[in-house]
Amino acid sequence: MMADITHSQAAPADVRVRPIGKPMGRSAGVRGGRGGTGWAAFGFIAPAWLYVAAFYVYPLAGNVRMSFQDYTVTSFFTGRAPFVGWRNYEAVWRDPAFAKTVVNTVAFTVGSLLFQFGIGLALAVFFQRRFPLGGVLRSLLLVPWLLPLVVSGTAWRWIMETDSGVLNQALMQVHLIDQPIPWLASTSVSLLSVTLVNIWVGIPFNMVILYGGLQGIPVHLYEAAALDGAGAWQRFRHITLPLLRPVTAVVLTLGLIYTLKVFDVIMVLTQGGPANSSQTLTTFAYDLSFQRLTFGHGAVVGNLLIVVAVVFAFVYLRATRDGEGRAAA
Amino acid sequence: MTTVRRFATTAAGVLILAVMLFPLYWMVNASLLPSTELVGSEPAWLPIHATFDGYRNALSSQGGHLLTSLYVSLGTVAVTLLIAVPAAYGLAQLRAAGGRLLVFALLIAQMIPGIVMANALYVAADALHLINSPLALVLADSTLSVPFAVLILHAFMRTVPAEVREAAAIDGASRLRTLVSIILPVSRNAVITAGLFSFLFAWADFLFGVTLTSRDERAPITVGIYRFIGAHMSDWNSVMATGVMASVPVAVLLVVAQRYVAAGITAGSVKD
């Protein structure tokens, strides 16, 4: 789900692991087909095609076009935005915030993925045990995933408040710190803070998918290994991890695509600030377009995001296909 | 495992849950605490002197945003199902030409960063004078849910045996008639799941809300909260009450439609 539920965090369907190359509707269609139904049936999917054209292809193409145009505030009154070649690209490249933003995006993404995955896997392994209330507790863990990110982000903003936030108060009470840390207001920790919150956001998603993967590992493998005298760690290392590889590939690529899209969390917590210290490519694109009203520059950063997303989308599609192949082998 | 160990595991599970859900508890707690207890140097762990002032403030300033979100989300559900149900039927049951390409396009579409969409949709909405229009928000929000809905309905409708459809055809039913009176009732659960998640996605949307509405009274609740924090930084009591109220529809859906939520999540996570 959901993700950049989406979600947009996180949309659960993104997690579908059906390979693209396989024929669709084989079960129903092939036997039922009397030949020639394909084009007559096109009318049913035609609206969806129109929709794809209007709401995905057109915006994508529009974004590419905008990146070569000089959009200013007046463009929206006059409807005119002259073409300026690669000048927008040069301007973004020279923007002192750009390099900082790229570094931030890499740190934010790698940090988020690493810990979301690690903690998600630990929880998935934990909830594999059978114990009273296990199922209930596991499904309650998903609640943060279904809430609007603006809401949970706001709760975190209150927790991380410098003076009256509970995080600082608790850390001071146990004498771990003796000065309140300005979690969201300091250039040196703001990126760490938004990464921490994003890790929290992503844990349920990772746990659900990895839990599903764990359920797919045959129990008898563990039993056989236990009979051979393998300890819990050895079983995890030599059975769980290798057999979880295909699911791991899916979780990490999807996680990466989601993390690049993260917008709500950062906006609510820091707006990318202070002084761009927690700015990522997504919030930077927003800032360029909607705060500085240089839509051409925003489109340039948007295009960069598209390229990265497409590259990893193909990595994802390959990973799912390889995963299928390995599972079948 | 012995009984003692099993209950120890449950205790550990409760502890994990408590840590993970703490931010939500802290939101509810702050929504009930009087302002004087919110600014103290010691945290107030329980809302002993509970007050509903925050909720009163939140309702009077955010009630309109909640309504906007409600009808935008319902509109998104309608648009999404209108596109997705026929598409899934055409893909799964009728082997429509170009179907594989459509599924591929939808999978890729899910990965387009929202900010790219917002950039282009803003310019388009501006040209069409649709900024601040709920219609623009409905259409933009539907881009979050159409791919999901098509894929989940497609996965379900593939499992409906062809014989069901053929029997209807022999009885003289048209394809459309078959969809409406045979396939839809059979796929009821998948339709509810798709609609439910469309609602949740639209309800949670912030990016399109913040880019496509400039007039405050037209903004959805997520944008309402965002601007509310900006304007009332110190009034955490009311801010948190707004957060709780924005979570209510999600909580209601979780309770009322629990098995559809579970279906949506597992449909996403389990291989078919």
Closest CA to A152 of B206, B51, B35, B45: B206
Q: Tell me the chain B residues in contact with residue A59 when contact means C-beta distances shorter than 8 Å.
A: 112, 116-117, 119-121, 124
Q: Tell me the chain A residues in contact with residue B96 when contact means C-beta distances shorter than 8 Å.
A: 38, 41-42, 44-45
Question: Mean pLDDT, to the nearest integer, of A190-213?
Answer: 93
Helix runs in chain A, H state only:
31-32, 37-40, 42-52, 58-66, 75-78, 87-94, 96-128, 134-140, 143-146, 149-159, 166-173, 190-215, 219-227, 232-235, 241-243, 245-261, 264-269, 281-286, 295-328
Give yes or no for residue A147 having a pLDDT over 50.
yes
Question: Mean pLDDT, to the nearest integer, of B75-99?
Answer: 90
Give how far B4 is from chain A: nearest CA, Å: 10
Q: CB-CB: which of A32, A209, A295 is closest to B165?
A: A32
Instruction: Provide the pLDDT confidence category of residue B266 given band limits of 50, 70 and 90.
Output: low
Determine the pLDDT at residue A250: 83
Give yes or no for residue B41 having a pLDDT over 80.
no
Determine the pLDDT at residue B136: 94
Backbone torsion region of residue B95, taken as left when φ is above 0, otherwise alpha when ψ lies between -120 and 50, otherwise beta: left
Give yes or no for residue B188 having a pLDDT over 90.
no
Task: Look over chain A and give the mean of its residue pLDDT values, rounded to a whole number.
Answer: 82
- For chain A, give every domain's residue range: 2-7+56-147+189-328
d(CA A154, CA A156): 5
d(CA A216, CA B95): 31
Instruction: Provide the pLDDT confidence category of residue A33 given band limits of 50, 70 and 90.
Output: very low
Other CB atoms within a 10 A radius of the CB of residue A230 amount to 16
Instruction: Provide the pLDDT confidence category of residue B181 given band limits of 50, 70 and 90.
Output: confident
Give yes or no for residue A38 having a pLDDT over 80.
no
Tokens 């810990």, residue located: A115
Give yes or no for residue B238 having a pLDDT over 70.
yes
Where is average pLDDT lowest: A297-301, B57-61, B117-121, B140-144?
A: B57-61
Question: Mean pLDDT, to the nearest integer, of A46-60?
Answer: 91
Q: What is the pLDDT of residues B8-22, one digit of tens each?
A: 899 999 999 999 999
Q: Determine phi and psi for B19, rounding to 5 degrees.
A: -65, -45
Give how far A261 is from chain B: nearest CA, Å: 5
Instruction: Report how far Cα B28 is from the mean position of its chain's Cα atoms.
Output: 21
Give yes or no for residue B272 having a pLDDT over 70.
no
Give yes or no for residue A5 having a pLDDT over 50.
no
CATH superfamily of domain region A2-7+56-147+189-328: MetI-like (1.10.3720.10)
Instruction: Provide the pLDDT confidence category of residue B115 given band limits of 50, 70 and 90.
Output: very high
Q: CB-CB: which of B7, B161, B246 is closest to A151?
A: B246
Q: What is the DSSP string of B156-174?
A: HHTTS-HHHHHHHHHTT--
Q: Tell me the chain A residues in contact with residue B13 when contact means C-beta distances shorter than 8 Å.
A: 126-127, 131, 133-134, 137
Determine the pLDDT at residue A194: 96
Q: Tell me the chain B residues in contact with residue A127 when contact means C-beta distances shorter than 8 Å.
A: 13
| Cβ distance of B13 and A5 shorter than 8 Å | no
d(CA A197, CA A266): 9
Instruction: Report how far Cα A92 is from the mean position of its chain's Cα atoms.
Output: 24
What value of ipTM does the predicted structure carry? 0.89
Interface of B with A in 75-104 (CB under 8 A): 82-84, 86-87, 89-100, 102-104
Helix, strand or coil, per DSSP, at residue A150? helix
| Cβ distance of B83 and A62 shorter than 8 Å | no
Cβ atoms of A19 and A328 closer than 8 Å: no
Q: Tell me the chain A residues in contact with residue B84 when contact means C-beta distances shorter than 8 Å.
A: 48
Which domains does chain B possess?
A: 1-51 (no CATH), 54-269 (1.10.3720.10)
